[in-house]
Amino acid sequence: MHIGELAERTGLSLRTLRHYDEVGLVSASGRTEGGFRLYTQDDYDRLILIRRMKPLGFTLEEMAELLDIIDTMRGTPDAASRAALERFVAEAADRRAKLQQQLAMADEFIELLASHR
């Protein structure tokens, strides 16, 4: 698919997709004869994973590390890769718990404001 279709399907901007390509996070799998980027379903899947990491506050470096781990897990995973993946699972769970606390506080705040109507 072309970059425009990928942007539409992922909800990411063209600028973001180009940036991810520049930093090597998700590169186009190919190019047309005219030089336009072409993306595959695997590229889309990687971008969706990245989108899920963004709200949890993972850095681009952490995203790249996780993508490398996932690539390794698809091949012949070793103990180090499995352990690294488990660390990411635990870190994601911790970050989610913090977000859940923030949401609870936001709900409480909204209720307090509403009570002053």
The DSSP secondary structure of 36-86, one letter per residue, reads -EE--HHHHHHHHHHHHHGGGT--HHHHHHHHHHHHHHHS---HHHHHHHH
Q: What is the mean pLDDT of the chain?
A: 95
Angle at 83 (CA atoms; ends 80, 89), nearest 5 degrees: 145
pLDDT tens column, 8-31? 999 999 999 999 999 999 999 999
List the domains of the chain with CATH numbers. 3-115 (1.10.1660.10)
Amino acid 107: pLDDT: 97
Record the pTM.
0.84
Token reading at 99: 């977000």
Separation CA 63–CA 56 (nearest Å): 11
pLDDT tens digits, 62-72: 999 999 999 99
